[in-house]
Amino acid sequence: MNVLIIRDVRVVDALGEGHGDVVIQDGFFVARGRGLSWPGALVLAGEGRTLLPAFVDLHAHFRDPGFPEKEDLTTGSWAAAHGGFTAVSVMANTDPVCDRPEVAHYILEKARALHLVEIYPVGAVTEGLQGEKLADLQALAPWVWAYSDDGRGVERADLLVEAMRQAVALGKPILSHPEFSGWPHPLAEELMVARDLRLAQATGATLHLQHLSSPHSVELFRQAKAAGVRATAEVTPHHLCLSQEGVGNYSVNPRLPREEARCALVEAFRAGVFDAVATDHAPHTPQDKARGAPGISGMETAFPLLYTRLVREGLISLAELSRHLSLGPARILRLRKGLVRVGFEGDCVLVEEDESFVVDEAFFLSKSKNTPLLGTRLWGKVWATIHRGEVIYLDGLVRGRDYHDHRQVVRAG
């Protein structure tokens, strides 16, 4: 029996908050209260820190297989643990592309051997992400949780309709990277959002819209959802917190909004329009970034950036942020995570709300440091990450890199 007691914490999740101790037994939350004890338990002293459900990321790039100079499953998992994430959905734009079962199997087996965070592969919609021929969605189905040609939109409507029909039969969602090539942004996004929502309505497919950045796209989504379309949507930390006026023309896809549009995204976020925050963690080498490769290494800064810019500024509550970083994405992935409640998986993160730090290259456990936040002071430092009752990150130490047994970093109670 594996039991961990986390003592003296402020517990916050999407349903509220309290103070006391939390008990995780055999991977699940089994008790909350004050002065709890359990035979044979290990004890982690929270010392008044804030405990949240661990974060779930619907959208990340770990570049494995194919691009080890940018990231791999090992360093990506370190970065996830450092950022407070215990479940990560990785996109199909690897090399080879995740358009066949053996690639997804490789990802799953390597992640399982690391014994750190849960990795959920996304299968490609089309072969090689080329948008010309459907991948074998049925063969991929046992190994992936969803299908997406992330990095480019599926421009052929006939292919997308057939993919949606097959996805319905297989019980999988379609993740849309909404952008038509050759059209100016944000029109490129808005046109594909409108089309994909209408096709989802026509086919009965479950559609998830990735990294919405246009207020008009958000309004199209809101209307479709109200009309009963089976759709969800994510927004990234950088589209909520950064603008062209603030950091210049930093290369991301979709590009950073103007300040007026960013404020509109925040207002939609506050109104509960979005279902989840997703990082779109996109590591690059300095050479690739200098050549204009789009993307931010954002998994490790996601919580402190959102906490600093939204929670500390009084725009949202910490419970609302937890809903979007934990419960919302967990529901989309169909995981029993996202709440610190009895019967939910024992994944949680301890943060130091009153601790600030300056983002520098030494901060990152990811191979890549590509971010416009270098030199920025943020609040809300992740102190510990627990996955199903086992400490996988604690105050700068990562399991598998700095220690191998979580009992090495907690004391017996």
Catalytic residue numbers?
280
The C-alpha atoms of residue 366 and residue 75 are separated, in whole angstroms, by 5
74 phi, psi to nearest 5 deg: -70, -55
Helix count (H) and strand count (E) of the chain? 13, 18
User: Taking every pair of C-alpha atoms in the chain, what is the biggest distance, in angstroms?
Assistant: 64
The bridge status of strand 174-176 relative to strand 207-209 is parallel
13 phi, psi to nearest 5 deg: -140, -170
Nearest to 256 by CA among 201, 293, 213, 309: 213
Nearest to 365 by CA among 59, 98, 103, 80: 80
Provide DSSP, 164-176. Answer: HHHHHHHT-PEEE
- CA angle at 313 for the pair 311 and 315, rounded to the nearest 5°: 65
The C-alpha atoms of residue 231 and residue 164 are separated, in whole angstroms, by 13
The bridge status of strand 16-25 relative to strand 3-13 is antiparallel
Cβ atoms of 221 and 209 within 8 Å: the answer is yes
Cβ atoms of 279 and 288 within 8 Å: the answer is no
State the residue for tokens 């592969």.
121
The C-alpha atoms of residue 176 and residue 198 are separated, in whole angstroms, by 13
CA 108 to chain centre: 17
State the residue for tokens 């890549």.
368
The bridge status of strand 3-13 relative to strand 42-45 is parallel
